Amino acid sequence: PRLANQIAAGEVVERPASVVKELVENSLDAAATRIELDIEKGGHKRIKLRDNGIGIAKDELELALSRHATSKIATLDDLEKILSLGFRGEALASISSVSRLSLTSKPAGQEQAWQANCEGRDMAVSLQPAAHPDGTTIDVADIFYNTPARRKFLRTEKTEYQHIEDVIKRIALSRPDVAFILRHNGKVTKRFTAVGEDQLASRVGQVCGQAFLQHAIHTRCEYDSITLEAWLGDASQMRSSNDCQYSFVNGRGMRDKLILHALRQAYESVLALPEQPAFVVYLTIDPKEVDVNVHPAKHEVRFQQSRLVHDFICKAICDALSSSAG
Ligand code: ADP
Ligand code: MG
């Protein structure tokens, strides 16, 4: 099973940041409202996540570490939810096949916390009692220690850490109601406090910086079943903050070509900027109008009426940029 899991890991586990993404999505699926991450050496050494979610019962720990053991399909009632976050049931198995993984958890109703460790060639799971508050801790150490070919592709600590930070920022922008704490080598590097879902602006400020929030042009437009809410940087931010470029479709982070194209066209025609400065764009659209499953990593979507969506975004952003320019 280890080999099969390692092959599957090739799809899920590209680098430390992809581990972080899978772990955080699991915590969100488990209704966590607070997620803490401890990263050591850019994730090369350790990725540790703690959440306050529903936890995993003792007799389900082993299952959680085995392939295709998703607990989610049975409880899901509609396709949209299935598509929304992971449901393949192989992230933990894959990650544990290429790292030293331990899983410690305590559901609220259970008296004792338990820790599961995966060991040896056959990935036998051993269980022992542990001390842990309600919720889950996953400790992923020595990523790719047993797959040297893959380890070779790891970049510097700094680069891998940047990817992790980007994943956290992206997710934090889609879940302002969840608190995130990120530490690197023992130092807090990001702390996002939870705010109401109606206080998106405050989370944008936490993630992209107060300077961005203060200078950004804010707009909110609706047309039929499409809503666009955006914070748009201006030319003064070209240099410092063009790393803060995030777009979301129905709450999911996307690097969608159509959205980027519409943005670029707007910036070019109003401000004559060849590239966009920082932006945070949220698009909400009737789920029936969008096909989320185009790209396996789900960074891209297909809009049924792509021309219409493109022109709507472009016009909304043109209007916002020109009203502030004038
Ligand atoms: P999937 O998320 O696709 O179901 P994973 O391999 O990511 O598959 O996770 C396996 C299972 O482990 C999940 O279905 C869930 O039951 C459990 N699990 C993983 N992480 C957590 C967590 N942080 N809190 C509660 N349960 C979790
Ligand atoms: Mg998962």
Give the atom of ligand 1 at the shortest distance from the alpha carbon of 55: 25
Q: Do 51 and 198 touch, CB atoms closer than 8 A?
A: no
Residue 326 has pLDDT above 60, yes or no: no
For residue 298, the model assigns a pLDDT of 59
Residue 70 has pLDDT above 80, yes or no: no
Give the closest residue to 255 by CA, choosing from 301, 311, 186. 301
Q: Do 96 and 121 touch, CB atoms closer than 8 A?
A: no
Vertex 201, ends 203 and 176: CA angle to 5°? 35
What would be the CATH architecture of the domain defined by 209-325? 2-Layer Sandwich (3.30)
pLDDT interval class at 277 (50, 70, 90) = confident
Residue 242 has pLDDT above 60, yes or no: no
Domain assignments of the chain as residue spans, ordered by start: 2-192, 209-325
Give 123's DSSP letter: T
> What pTM value is reported for the model?
0.90
Does residue 138 sit in helix, strand or coil? strand
- Answer yes or no: same fold for 2-192 and 209-325: no
Q: What's the maximum distance between 2 C-alpha atoms anywhere in the chain?
A: 67
Pocket test for ligand 1, best of 5, 22, 26 (most atoms within 8 A of CB): 26
CATH code of 2-192, in short, is 3.30.565.10
Residue 76 has pLDDT above 50, yes or no: no
* Pairwise CA distance, residues 30 & 114, whole Å: 17
Rounded distance from Cα 159 to ligand 1 centre (Å):
27
For residue 240, the model assigns a pLDDT of 53
Pocket of ligand 1 (CB under 6 A): 22, 26-27, 30, 51, 53-56, 64, 69-72, 86-93, 136
Least confident range of 94-98, 253-257, 261-265: 253-257
Mean per-residue pLDDT of the chain: 87
Residue 220 has pLDDT above 80, yes or no: yes
Least confident range of 12-16, 87-91, 164-168: 87-91
**Quick count: other Cβ atoms within 10 Å of Cβ 103?**
23
ipTM of the complex: 0.99
* Pairwise CA distance, residues 63 & 215, whole Å: 49
